[in-house]
Amino acid sequence: MTATATSPGQGAAPGVPHLDFDPFSIEFFADPFATHEELREAGPVVYLDTYGVYGVARYAEVHAVLNDPLTFCSSRGVGLSDFAKEKPWRPQSIILEADPPAHTRTRAVLGQVLSATAMKPLRSHFAARAEAKADELLARGSFDAITDLAEAYPLSVFPDALGLQQEGREHLLPYASLVFNSFGPPNRLRQEAIERSAPHQAYVAEQCRRENLVPGGFGACIHARADAGDITHDEAPLLVRSLLSAGLDTTVYGIGATVYCLARFPDQLAKLRSDPTLARNAFEEAVRFESPVQTFFRTTTREVELGGHSIGEGEKILMFLGAANRDPRRWENPDRYDITRRTAGHVGFGSGIHMCVGQLVARLEGEVMLSALARRVGSIEITGEVKRRYNNTLRGLESLPITITPA
Ligand code: OVV
């Protein structure tokens, strides 16, 4: 392979192994696992010649980078593009793409809006919708587990919980797909998504305004925190935008991953059926096993030692979350989907101060949907062609035709 394309960095530090595969190519997305192993085995830190960036794929280094957010910053973007050198394609996120101290205030607000206390009144409604969805799908028998389940269920609860109007919701999944493609290099996935982004961006900007958000929802709660003085009235719509960006597609991929796992590993479905209280961990283990969010970047703010190498300031580092989540240095039988595994410590939701602020919403959706299925379904069979969906950041399926039978 030829090492060309953009070269943001100064070149690798001496002794760092070079790899020349493209971590944002369709071939890699189709089957990343052998390359993940090569990445981990090459060393604690590698240099990816295709983009002139460092990479980390072992659990220890991914965890270390995530947990030193001032050295490995987010404010220069968590995609390939360095905001110190290139203008962001949309106004910067004030939580994802921010560092302390600015991050601390916005994170506290979203953390409270999406807290355990805030989940309590949602649970019974989320569970009722999951049970209705499971009943409907069981009556149909055969359906597409991506569109009819993994997408349909979150769409039936999350936009209402946010307080969105009915009109225009068809923009939500395309907008999220755009946001996650935008973290990648200027390849076809990113460029085509941005070219087509105007109507989706216009929809999202409009829905983030206070007057368009139904009282009682997450969105209205965020705006109320501006009245309280915790954030400014200009910041509130941008925090709503973060929920619209990251709150829906991610759970679609998480639920899709879990169903795909249960369809492929019937012994694990049997275990789940015999004890539906395992539903929450079955979801969590699927987040580890498939890692719906595969990668994020950080940018170094100073010269720093990592994995025995000295890395200069202003270098992009690509974190392979999916590879860390299957690192045999950290996990026993990492390539086994095991719903009774101790999943704590996986980095599928990240780690440290930026760890998924919506994780309780995600787990609630995952738990109640999988629990509803566990209590009704006897078997899951894949009955058609499994088609992969390609995105610069997200790993998941386009289509998963299945037939389910009653217990
Ligand atoms: C975690 C995440 C993904 C995408 C967008 C955002 C956050 C945001 O804050 O906009």
pLDDT in tens, 55-102: 999 999 999 999 999 999 999 999 999 999 999 999 999 999 999 999
The residue nearest atom 10 of ligand 1, judged by CA position, is: 242
Side-chain-facing half-sphere of 23: CA atoms under 13 Å: 36
Is-contact 337 261, C-beta < 8 A?
yes
pLDDT of 358 higher than 60: yes
Q: Which atom of ligand 1 is found nearest the CA of 94? A: 9
Is 95 a pocket residue for ligand 1 (Cβ < 6 Å)? yes
Helices assigned H by DSSP within 313-358: 321-324
Residue 67 CB neighbours (<10 A): 15
Q: For residue range 117-127, what is the model confidence (pLDDT) as tens digits?
A: 999 999 999 99
- Domain ranges (residues) in the chain: 18-406
Mention every residue, 6+ apart, whose C-beta is less than 8 A from residue 62: 56, 319, 320, 321, 323, 324, 347
pLDDT at residue 150 in the model? 99
Ligand 1 centroid to Cα of residue 244, in Å, is: 8
What's the mean pLDDT in 249-278?
Answer: 99
Neighbours of 141 (CB within 10 A): 12
Please tell me the distance between residue 179's alpha carbon and the centre of ligand 1 in angstroms.
8
- Ligand 1 centroid distance, CA of 190 (Å): 16
CATH superfamily entry for domain 18-406:
Cytochrome P450 (1.10.630.10)
Question: Where do runs of H (alpha helix) occur along 141-234?
Answer: 152-162, 172-182, 188-195, 198-207, 218-227
Residue 304 φ then ψ, to 5°: -145, 150
Cβ-contact 163, 210 below 8 angstroms: no
The closest-lying atom of ligand 1 relative to the alpha carbon of residue 95 is: 9
Contacts of residue 291, Cβ cutoff 8 Å, sequence gap at least 6: 321, 322, 325, 348, 395
Predicted local confidence at residue 9, as pLDDT: 60
Q: Whose CA is nearest to atom 1 of ligand 1?
A: 246
Name the more confident of 229 and 9. Answer: 229
Residue 9 DSSP one-character state? S
What is the number of the ligand 1 atom nearest to the C-alpha of 250?
3
The verdict on pTM exceeding 0.75 is: yes
Mean pLDDT, residues 173-193 taken together:
98
Q: What is the pLDDT of residues 20-61, one digit of tens each?
A: 999 999 999 999 999 999 999 999 999 999 999 999 999 999
301 pocket-lining for ligand 1 (C-beta < 6 Å): no
Cα of 353 vs centre of ligand 1, distance in Å, is 14
Distance 302 CA to ligand 1 centre (A): 25
Closest CA to 297 of 272, 278, 315, 273: 315
| Binding site membership of 94 for ligand 1 (Cβ less than 6 Å) | no
**Given this model, what pLDDT does residue 8 score?**
55
Task: Kindly give, in sequence order, each residue whose CB lies less than 8 Å from that of residue 267, ignoring residues fewer than 6 positions away.
Answer: none
Closest ligand 1 atom to the C-alpha of 241? 10
Atom of ligand 1 nearest to the CA of 183: 4
